[in-house]
Amino acid sequence: MPRHPDVPAYAPDIYSTQAVLDPYPHYAKLRELGPVVWLPKHKVYALPRYAECKAVLLNDKTFTSGEGVALNSLTNRFSRGTTLNSDGEDHTGRRALVAHRLTPRALRTMKEAVECQAAEIVDAALARRDVDGVDIAEALPTAVVPDLVGWPQEQRKNLLSWGAATFDVLGPLNARAAAATFRGLGVMRFARGVVRRRSILPGSMGDDLLRAADEGKIARSECPALMIDYLVPSLDTTLSAIASALHLFATHPGQWQLLKNDPGLIPNAINEIVRYESPLRAFSRKVAEDTVLAGTALPAGSRVLVLYASANRDALEWENPDTFDIRRDASRQLGFGRGTHGCAGQGLARLEVQAILQALVARVEKIVPTGEPEWGLNNIIRRLHRLPLELVPA
């Protein structure tokens, strides 16, 4: 798809190892270039600013997901049949199948159990005192979500690696995505087997899907993709937010004191964490009909890249966007997306992050960095890979 001659172009690869590890200077240059910027390497119109990202997310008729949200056609073909990759009635129907599991009322029934698990995780970490914050971050999502989805006990050790791979293949078809393809197919093969053997945990979300198939509401062949749809986006994303929270409070002790003095700030702190270190870098949309965005003509068939992480640092929208401040109103951040595809699991993610922060606030005086953090390499997820910390008990 050739670019329009008036659209500025940005040649560096924003999915290179360097850019994945240090993305913010690239986002700043993109925002400076304009509201719509052509990325020649990926043949996509990038949207680095807040207003255009929000407008596109709210207009799912023109900017569609049904032909995939990845930056490569292979994944877009393979991931058909998921909630994420569907439009209109197909999308509404798929989302409704399991959405009742994630409503505020349904989540209230899980709240106590999640808070108990979070308290145990923080107590165990405090007993060690010197910890890798990533271990704390992994513990809660991997304890909560597989049971909710109904994933059998076997192969749970693979879920994190499968989850990361499934995100990697949603980027461009670079070496990272190619290396992840085999693992990505592994999760699909396993999910098919789970559906075939009906080894799903009774009373779970996966069980609901199989019942819907029994009743003829969906085809049985749709069940594996739909199970993955809810499992995969729920681990790495939440893990990323919890690890970033630990990192941010360790490196901003004043903000930690503010939170300790007023735990009522936790819900807003979660928005600020997701704004400041958005777990999901970007997804794309296909342009369904010729349209104009911020004065730029976008032809039908082209793709736009919604850069959630850049929108959340846009100075046209946020005062001092590169400052982490849990007192700012961060509720309009786009880290959970927006509109019809807005994150279906954000209530659960918020519940998990809230439970961990509550447990930390009650038990930990200071979070002290004890070594250099390491960021992981993934095309879509920004998450810490290693986070050495000391937890000083209150």
Q: Which stretch binds ligand HEM (CB under 6 A): 109-117, 119-127, 214-222, 230-238?
A: 230-238
Which residue lies nearer to ligand HEM by CB, 184 or 335? 335
Mark 128-167 with x for binding to ligand HEM (rule: CB under 6 A) and - for no binding: -----------------x----------------------
Q: Does 341 bind ligand HEM (CB under 6 A)?
A: yes
Cα–Cα distance for residue pair 244/312, rounded to 1 Å: 15
Q: Does 224 bind ligand HEM (CB under 6 A)?
A: no
Q: Does 308 bind ligand HEM (CB under 6 A)?
A: yes
Cα–Cα distance for residue pair 69/46, rounded to 1 Å: 13
Q: Name which position in 71, 212, 241, 326 contacts ligand HEM (CB under 6 A).
A: 241
Identify the burial level of 126 via C-beta atoms within 10 angstroms of its C-beta, where 0-12 means exposed, 13-18 middle and 19 or more buried: middle
Q: Name which position in 184, 335, 357, 361 contacts ligand HEM (CB under 6 A).
A: 335
As a whole number of Å, the CA-based R_g of the chain is 21
Q: Name which position in 62, 76, 83, 174 contacts ligand HEM (CB under 6 A).
A: 83
Q: Does 233 bind ligand HEM (CB under 6 A)?
A: yes
For residue 374, list its beta bridge partners: 386
Q: Which two tokens stand for residue 69?
A: 């949200």
Which residue lies nearer to ligand HEM by CB, 122 or 380? 380
Listed residue (65, 282, 77, 24) closest to 188, CA to CA: 77
Which residue lies nearer to ligand HEM by CB, 150 or 233? 233
At closest approach, how far in Å is the CB of 128 from ligand HEM?
25
Q: Which two tokens stand for residue 183?
A: 């693992």
Q: Does 238 bind ligand HEM (CB under 6 A)?
A: yes
* Sequence-separated (6 or more) residues with CB below 8 Å from residue 319: 328
Q: Which stretch binds ligand HEM (CB under 6 A): 34-42, 70-78, 232-240, 310-318?
A: 232-240
At closest approach, how far in Å is the CB of 269 from ligand HEM?
13
Using CB under 6 A as the binding rule, the residues of this chain from 98 to 127 that contact ligand HEM are none
Exposure string over 5-40, b if 16+ CB within 10 A, otherwise e: eebeebeebbbeeebbeebeebbbebbebbbbbbbe
Q: Does 230 bind ligand HEM (CB under 6 A)?
A: yes
Cα–Cα distance for residue pair 304/297, rounded to 1 Å: 12
Q: Does 274 bind ligand HEM (CB under 6 A)?
A: yes
Residue pair 273/12 in contact (Cβ under 8 Å)? The answer is: no
Listed residue (202, 201, 209, 203) closest to 228, CA to CA: 209
| Residues in touch with ligand HEM (CB under 6 A) | 57, 65, 69, 83-84, 95, 145, 229-230, 233-234, 237-238, 241, 274, 279-280, 283, 308, 335-337, 341, 343-346, 348-349
